[in-house]
Amino acid sequence: MDKAIYTAMSGASRTMFQQRLHANNLANVNTHGFRADFAEILAKNVDGQGLPTRVLTETVGTWSSEKAGNMTSTGRNLDVAIAGEGWLAVEDATGNESYTRGGQLHVTMDGQLVTGRGEPVLDQGGAAIVIPEYEQLHIGPDGTISVLGSGDPKSQPVTIGQLKLVKSETPLNKGTDGLFRADNNEPLNADLTVKVVSGALESSNVNAMEEMVTFMSLGRQFEMQLKTIETARQMAESGDRLIRGS
């Protein structure tokens, strides 16, 4: 009975872990640029711990879906969506360079360009972008930011910076803050092939229906694992009664 309980408890704990991932996916179904998370769970023998027949499950890796979300037009000049592969460089809470697909930008009271969550947006040199007072603003396909100040000639917009757009040949690592990073937090070089669409946003790539079905399936698995534990407990108690009776 010991090995049955051990295996069932191991499976139940990993099922709860997956439920948390998919619950987080569902919670971000309307978060612009969000990438759905998944986990790989494998069963294996326990090396050097108890009987060789004892089996547990373990999480061997988590990853985020690389599928792009749908692009929706907003008409807002500060909204940008990455066209195809690529990332927008921002500064995280620790001051390190990180990456996001969420392009719902705005300008703070002191002129700093930030994401919808408040992360400073970086230029190609890795510095935070500051926007001067303007009458009109335009972000070009290459991330170039041009502004027209009050009283300036309409035909003479001034380029004041360029978004740092990057592309990674290997999958980036997603942090608990939802931002992505390269290995060892090393900044990536700007990639001029990455383009943005101004006046549009990328939606979350979460499929709400698939997530609900998966979440319900995991719930049934969890119930079965708990029933296995309860059955093993009852069988162990029955065995104890037989032994005491003899």
| pLDDT 10s digits, 68-81 | 999 999 999 999 99
Least reliable range by pLDDT among 49-63, 73-87, 89-103, 231-245: 49-63
Among residues of the chain, what percentage have pLDDT more than 70?
88
Of 17, 9, 7, 15, the closest CA to residue 56 belongs to 7
Per-residue confidence at 47, pLDDT binned at 50, 70, 90?
low
Average pLDDT of the chain is 86
Per-residue confidence at 131, pLDDT binned at 50, 70, 90?
very high
SS3 10: helix
Residue scoring higher pLDDT (132 or 5) = 132
Cα distance between residue 174 and residue 171, in whole Å: 9
Of 111, 113, 117, 65, the closest CA to residue 92 belongs to 117
User: Any idea what the Cα angle at residue 198 is, between residues 182 and 32, rounded to 5°?
Assistant: 55
The confidence score (pLDDT) of residue 73 equals: 94
Strand ranges inside the chain, DSSP E: 37-45, 55-64, 71-73, 80-83, 87-91, 97-100, 106-107, 113-114, 136-139, 144-148, 158-162, 165-166, 173-174, 180-181, 195-198, 200-202
**pLDDT single digits (tens) 185-221:** 889 999 999 999 999 999 999 999 999 999 899 889 8
Residues 6+ apart with CB under 8 A from 85: 167, 194
Cα distance between residue 81 and residue 69, in whole Å: 10
The confidence score (pLDDT) of residue 3 equals: 67
Cα 160 to chain centroid distance, Å, stands at 31
Q: State mean pLDDT over 127-150.
A: 91
User: Any idea what the Cα angle at residue 128 is, between residues 125 and 129, rounded to 5°?
Assistant: 95
Q: What is the dihedral of CA 161, 167, 172, 175, to 10 degrees?
A: 20
User: pTM higher than 0.85, yes or no?
Assistant: no
Per-residue confidence at 109, pLDDT binned at 50, 70, 90?
very high
